[in-house]
Amino acid sequence: QVQLVESGGGLVQAGGSLRLSCAASGRTFSNSTIAWFRQAAGKEREFVTAITWSGTITYYADSVKGRFTISRDNAKNTVYLQMNSLKPVDTAVYYCAASTGKGRTFVTPLAALYDYWGQGTQVTVSS
């Protein structure tokens, strides 16, 4: 079992930055692939980025590549999402998700393959 709690969301002006955190509890965190997804009002949930358990493989959606950076600190059971050059289109509820037991190099943008989800944190970017 993995429990996930997101934090760090808020209101920021376009061009600004935010850092989201995903704090995890549970013995399998260090063996989990962690991803961030987001869901804007009235839209489907979409993949943002993911990182393997070792942190050596990352995967980004084209829409955030070069602006967002995912990282993890297994000693702190925490994954971070650094978001720079934010745009109004980045406004959404951001969720972290964990996929366990699928191997050290497993990373996927498919939400159905993630086993545990946090409750989400709101990010609002004003123009």
Q: What are phi and psi of 118, to 5 degrees?
A: -85, 180
The string of pLDDT tens digits covering residues 87-114 is 999 999 999 999 988 888 899 999 999 9
Q: What is the pLDDT of residue 103?
A: 83
Q: 56 to each of 72, 76, 106, 107, 123, how far by Cα in Å?
A: 10, 17, 11, 11, 27
Confidence of residue 41 (pLDDT cuts 50, 70, 90): very high
CB burial of residue 26 (10 Å; 0-12, 13-18, 19+): middle
- Given a cut of 80, whether residue 28 has pLDDT beyond it is no
Whole-angstrom Cα distance, residue 36 to residue 49? Answer: 5
DSSP conformation class of 29: G
What pLDDT score does 36 carry? 98
d(CA 83, CA 59): 15
Q: Are strands 68-73 and 78-83 parallel, antiparallel or unpaired?
A: antiparallel
Residue 88 CB-half CA count within 13 A: 2
* Neighbour-count burial for 100-119, b at 16+ CB within 10 Å, e otherwise: bebeeebbeeebeebbbbbe
pLDDT at 81 over 90: yes
The pLDDT assigned to 61 comes to: 98
Query: In this model, does residue 116 exceed pLDDT 80?
Result: yes
